[in-house]
Amino acid sequence: MSTQKKYLYDGSDWAEHEDFLVGNKKGLEELKTAIDEALEKNISTKKIGNYVGVKKLDTSFFEKKRGGNDNIFSQILTIGVVVSIAIIFFIGLLSSAKFLKSFF
């Protein structure tokens, strides 16, 4: 009786498989079992390859806005930083022009 090891990986380690989950038959069968369990119970903690499990999430999780500048404070802070950098740049440019003008 052959005990085949299970393999399941994110294919990004190989250029020709980078957009796929890749695995041997046993690994993919374990994934299928974990998916069935997650569909039934919302989560499966069956370890498969490098993954600790499978979760089923509501559609709203994927549709809500993620990351970045969600609040007004971070947007104002970003604008303030950009304006400050622009002012420093122009002050440096004017100082350089005055310095160079003194030689001519």
User: Using one digit for the tens of pLDDT, what is the confidence trace for 34-52?
Assistant: 999 999 999 999 888 788 8
pLDDT tens digits for range 5-21: 888 888 888 899 988 99
Q: Kindly report each contact of residues 21-30 with a partner whose C-beta sits within 8 Å and lies 24 or more positions away, as own/partner.
A: 23/49, 30/6
CA-to-CA distance for 3 and 28, rounded, in angstroms? 15
Comparing 32 with 68, the larger pLDDT belongs to 32
Strands (E), 4-87: 8-10, 21-23, 43-44, 54-55
97-101: Cβ within 8 A, 24+ apart = none
Whole-model pTM: value is 0.56
